[in-house]
Amino acid sequence: MAISVGTAAPDFTLKDQNQKEVKLSDFKGKKKVVIVFYPLDWSPVCTNEHACFVNDMKKFEQLDAQVLGVSVDSAWSHKAFADKMGIHYPLLADFHPRGAVGEKFGVYLADKGITGRAIAIVDRGGNIAWFRNYDIPTVPDLNEVSKALDGVN
C-alpha cells in the first residue's frame, strides 16, 4: 500500500554512493526532499530518468529541494552509475535488508525483488506533501514534479 499524502514520512538511514550515511530526518526543518524510487541502476528507463534529473538539477536547487535516489542496488553499483551519469545527488542503497525503505513507502515489489518507480515529495516538516507511482517503463514528467514541489513549504 502506497504511503498517503499528509502522513509523516518514514525516517530512514541509508548509505549513498560514497558510503556516507544519509538520514531523511536530517533535512527536517531545512529542505524539501524529493525521493526518487527507481527499479535498478543501468536500466534504460532509469538511466533516462536520472539524465532528466541531472539536466534539471538547477530547478530543484532553486526550489530548495534535496533530491535522493533510492533503489535496491548496492552502494558500489550506485557509485559506478553516478560517476557514469554525472549524478551529484545521493543515490541510496536500499540493499540490506533488500527493499526495506521502499516497503515503508509502499513501493517495494517483493515478487520482482526491485523497487517500483515512484516519487515522493517530503515537506520541511517531514510530511509527505506529494506522491506519485509510475509504471516501470515510464519516465516521470519532471515538470509535473517541479510544479508540485513549487507548492510545498
- Could you tell me the three cell numbers for 127? 510530511
- The single residue of 9, 24, 45, 46 carrying the catalytic annotation is 46
**What residue ranges in 6-146 does DSSP mark as E strands?**
13-15, 21-23, 32-37, 65-71, 91-93, 108-109, 114-115, 117-122, 128-134
CA–CA distance, 114 with 57 (Å, rounded to integer):
25
At residue 6, φ and ψ (nearest 5 deg) are 100, -15
CA–CA distance, 100 with 97 (Å, rounded to integer):
6
Query: Active site includes 52?
Result: no
Residues serving a catalytic function are 46
